[in-house]
Structure 1
């Protein structure tokens, strides 16, 4: 069954996607999908947001964005918890110089802050993939960069959403945050490696301390926009103990009294 699914995904990736005649050619279409769930405490969330802002303002990011054949990329940002936070979206922008990168960072910095209920990585992947398909750009590469500190526990199964994104030619990279490991599944880097990320050249870059945020995010963004193959920093799964990609959903059912039936809006 697994072999058949792998073959179907490979065949789907070979089928050319229709491109709008008026689509703007870019070197990469990059979505930054950032965890704003309540497992991210206010300090952790603030450090995460500041890390993205600092990375986008760094001259190395602009240089990487201009390094491809088209000399520009398309970039979007959103935050998610149990659903995508529509109040915390920076819509698609062309990054083609230092000024445009800084302008994007300013829009990101001005977004309202807050953390919300539940963790739906699947909703974030679905939203990111749909956004890429309808954004009016034609990228040589299409990437969703997803960060978070806990497993999926709301919405559809994460593997299903991940596989759907990959089948449409999107690469999913991960930035698992292990500063305060999830009590549900502490090895969230393994979860991201096996359940969340995928596609040609995909990778996981873990963050284990607050001091690593800005540098790790900058490094990750530069790798993604430049297309340079990274050395994956993934903790190998233990032999005979594969990751349960429904571990978050299982915990939600067992601890239903600690979860809410509805989400903040």
Structure 2
């Protein structure tokens, strides 16, 4: 059976990806850091629909947690064939000259270091170099990596820029080892992450700047993620799909 591990899978894009993956025949590992109830709700939805799912707590910025996370998933489902590096965080809207080092460490610990740690564990299990059968990794970046998020989240944008570089570099590193690595860059998507930045209505405020005239849904991003994971994208690696309504 195909098994996908989705970090930050308890809500938003991660939860939508978990539900869609289950419908496409994956056993789904839903990683979460704090909200056990939300993660378990996603698992219950999948199980009620006849799928297989497991919720696993782990802080992906901590190496020991990442090692344990993969071990628990393997114990339950035997192997990890796909990874979605989705977990990410941001903080309240701020200019760069108002940010401090503690904030930057929090952002980069999850968005960059966590993604590197999870990718490394996935490679150790999927790569033919280590006796694996290959697999696929999708990194969930952001259009902010390209646009910069001036006056709001330049730190978040920079962390996603680092994730884009990881996508390209790792893809070339492991292409001959049976692993494809790609990224999606969501634009203005209707999720709870905007509330973390202090503006729950941010998508509505900026809707007029989107060529398609509206914000996107988590499911629309999930569709792109699952295509990249699938055999339909078998000749696609080291690239990004912008899911941003043209913005």
**Could you state the TM-score of these two structures normalised by the residue count of structure 1?**
0.45
Please identify which structure carries the higher helix content.
2
RCO higher in structure (CA 8 A, sep ≥6): 1
TM-score, length-scaled by structure 2: 0.48
